[in-house]
């Protein structure tokens, strides 16, 4: 009886260990580069709500083990970033992370110091799947209205890139806006 119990225990342990790589294989590596052309005319958008990330996982402070930043040495879009910079584009944010494919998971990204809850650069990324893998992004570049010489009812002037796109893994996708752009890649 003890041998049967040991054999079942060993079988269970082997099954769990074999399933771990499968679970990790379902994680996606997501990389985004948010950029703009400084000489482009400002295209004002709707500023983000103060609770813009209330339902999201903040990449910089999450306690979730299944959502984590990846080391910059593993970034895949560095050569594209260099080409953009050489062409006069400004890189506002370049980040990459791993996450499970979870239709309810929204990842919040930001850069710079917050002013009343609004960051100079902030965004939300949702990766979901029905028939196709789909990416939904909402990114803002926020600047003080006074520094731009623009009359505004708000102290902040925002440009917004908001798009939904079907993606294929291991391809670089370009999201376009009049004054902003984004490169995105996902891989398993």
The predicted structure's pLDDT at residue 151: 64
Nearest Cα to Cα of residue 31 among 130, 135, 162, 128: 135
Q: Tell me, what's the pLDDT at 155? A: 75
The dihedrals phi and psi of 142, each to the nearest 5 degrees, come to -115, 135
CA distances from 176 to 34, 89, 100, 160, 180 (A): 10, 13, 26, 11, 6
- Checking if the pLDDT of 182 tops 80, the result is yes
With bands split at pLDDT 50, 70 and 90, how would you rate the model's confidence at 119? very high
**Model confidence at 53: pLDDT above 90:** yes
Which has more confidence, 5 or 28? 28
Q: Quote the CA–CA distance of 126 and 106 in Å, as a whole number.
A: 5
92 and 18 Cβ atoms separated by less than 8 Å: no
Extents of the domains making up the chain: 27-187
Query: pTM score, two decimals?
Result: 0.83
Q: Which of 6-15, 138-147, 151-160 bottoms out in mean pLDDT, i.e. has the lowest? A: 6-15
Q: How confident is the model at residue 178 (pLDDT cuts 50, 70, 90)?
A: confident
Task: Take residue 78 and report the two structure tokens written for it.
Answer: 């560095």
The pLDDT of 134-149, averaged and rounded, is 86
Residue 136 near residue 184, CB atoms below 8 Å: no
Q: Are 20 and 27 in contact (CB under 8 A)?
A: no
Quote the pLDDT of residue 20: 43
Give CA–CA dist 167/169, Å, rounded. 6
């Amino acid at each position: 009886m003890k041998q049967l119990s040991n054999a079942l225990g060993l079988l269970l342990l082997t099954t769990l260990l074999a399933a771990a790589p499968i679970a990790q294989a379902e994680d996606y590596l997501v990389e985004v580069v948010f950029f703009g052309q400084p000489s482009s005319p400002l295209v004002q958008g709707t500023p983000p709500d103060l609770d813009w990330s209330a339902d999201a996982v903040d990449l910089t402070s999450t306690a979730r083990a299944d959502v984590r930043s990846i080391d910059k040495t593993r970034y895949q879009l560095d050569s594209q970033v260099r080409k953009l910079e050489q062409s006069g584009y400004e890189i506002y944010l370049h980040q990459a992370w791993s996450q499970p494919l979870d239709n309810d998971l929204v990842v919040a990204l930001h850069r710079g110091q917050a002013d009343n809850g609004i960051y100079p650069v902030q965004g939300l990324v949702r990766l979901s799947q029905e028939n196709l893998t789909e990416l939904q992004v909402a990114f803002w570049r926020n600047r003080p209205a006074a520094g731009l010489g623009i009359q505004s009812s708000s102290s902040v002037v925002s440009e917004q890139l908001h798009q939904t796109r079907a993606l294929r893994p291991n391809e670089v996708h370009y999201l376009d806006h009049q004054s902003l752009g984004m490169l995105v890649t996902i891989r398993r």
